[in-house]
Structures are given as structure tokens and as C-alpha cells.
Amino acid sequence: AQSVTQLGSHVSVSEGALVLLRCNYSSSVPPYLFWYVQYPNQGLQLLLKYTSAATLVKGINGFEAEFKKSETSFHLTKPSAHMSDAAEYFCAVVGSARQLTFGSGTQLTVLP
Amino acid sequence: GAGVSQSPSNKVTEKGKDVELRCDPISGHTALYWYRQSLGQGLEFLIYFQGNSAPDKSGLPSDRFSAERTGGSVSTLTIQRTQQEDSAVYLCASSPGTDLTDTQYFGPGTRLTVL
């Protein structure tokens, strides 16, 4: 079975600082990985996805993630945090049955 | 274009009552998913519809939960004899087809509170 683990349920950064949200996967086959963001009282919005075309994936709002097979990781980064980035972020892997299996989420707080 | 819509946005019900939650997927999307988001369990897959194929019900937590999809479009999730542990946000998503890399587009969810 495939799974993802997100380290750090809460992350706080100062505005303008680097954002790093961690995601590690477990999979016996090459995984397809996703990062979603959820703003308060809203659904999930796709930030980016890894589909094996390129290991460095760029997404919306200045976010990017790098697939590292040797580390079984797919960490999400943004060079400079903005107040509007405050939200909950979910890493997910898609299974053979097409369902997404999500990590437990990381709540990002951006401090002024 | 229009995204995935869900209704109602909020539903408060009494323990033991039945509830129906509705999902309108993006037009033309053949795949439809239901997920549940709760404080204790996080985001969980419930059921998956693909075209006219039999749905994948492997995520449904009990036989009180059922779902149907009419005409390959609108879907209804029904919870019978609701329990307090059913309180959660129910999210619907749709995707264009069957490719594993297809993006799933989520609706805003229905917040269910069982008193």
C-alpha cells in the first residue's frame, strides 16, 4: 500500500522567509505525488503534482517541489513566504484505484 | 468555467436521521470521488465512480453509507441513521478521466454536524 507522511503538523515562518514543508512517501512502485492547499472553509486546491516527467516541479503561487527517489521525499518549498500563504497543506499519493491517500496535513502560519 | 459544487454547505441533523449530500462535478469529467475530512481521521477516501462502471466502495466505513451517480453526472451520498462520529466535512472531487496523473478538482465541501 502507498502512503505519505508529513513531518510537522504546524510550521511557522516569518513573512519573506523560506517555506519548507516536508513529505515522505512509501511506495513499492513509482509514485505519482500531489500537493494540495486548503484555505479556511474551502475545498482543496492543487498546488503541483509529480508525474515522473521532471523531478523538479513548479506549481502555482511560487511553490515548487523536488522528487528525490533516494530520500523518498517530495518536500514543498517557496523562497519567500507571503501572508496569503497561511493555510493547511496536504501531500498525497494516488493509488492504483485512483483514490488519493493524504498525509495528515501541515498548518502553515506566516508571521508579520 | 464552473467548478465542483456541493450542497448543502452546512447540514445539522439529529442522531438517527438520514441525510443526503449532493455533488455536481465539472461538466465532462467522468470520474467522481467522495472523501471525508474529520479531526480524528484526517482526509479519507470513501467511494469512486468512473463512467458507467461499478463504483469502488472500498472506503465506505459502514453499510449506513451509500452513494449513487445518476446519468454519469450528479452524485448523492446518503448516510442512514446518522451517528455523532459521522460529523465531518464531506468533500467531492471530479477528474477528467482514468489517468492516474489526472488532477482531482475538489468542491467546497458539506459540513455535517450530528447532534
d(CA A25, CA A46): 18
pLDDT score of A63: 98
Contact criterion met (CB < 8 Å) for B48 and A32 = no
DSSP labels for A52-72? SS-SEEE-GGG-EEEEEGGGT
Q: Which residue has the higher pLDDT, B95 or B40?
A: B95
The CA distance from A92 to the nearest CA of chain B, in Å, is 10
Grid coordinates in use for A95?
Answer: 493509488
Residues of chain B neighbouring A32 (CB-CB closer than 8 A): 100-101
Please tell me the total number of residues recorded for chain A in this structure: 112
- Please give the order of strands across the beta sheet that includes B19-24: B5-7, B19-24, B75-79, B65-69
Kindly report whether the peptide bond that precedes residue B8 is cis, defined as omega within 30 degrees of 0: yes
Residue of B113, B39, B63 whose CA lies nearest to B83 = B113
- Chain A's closest residue to B50, CA to CA, is A98
Contact criterion met (CB < 8 Å) for A46 and B105 = yes
Does residue B1 register a pLDDT over 70? Answer: no
Does residue B90 register a pLDDT over 70? Answer: yes
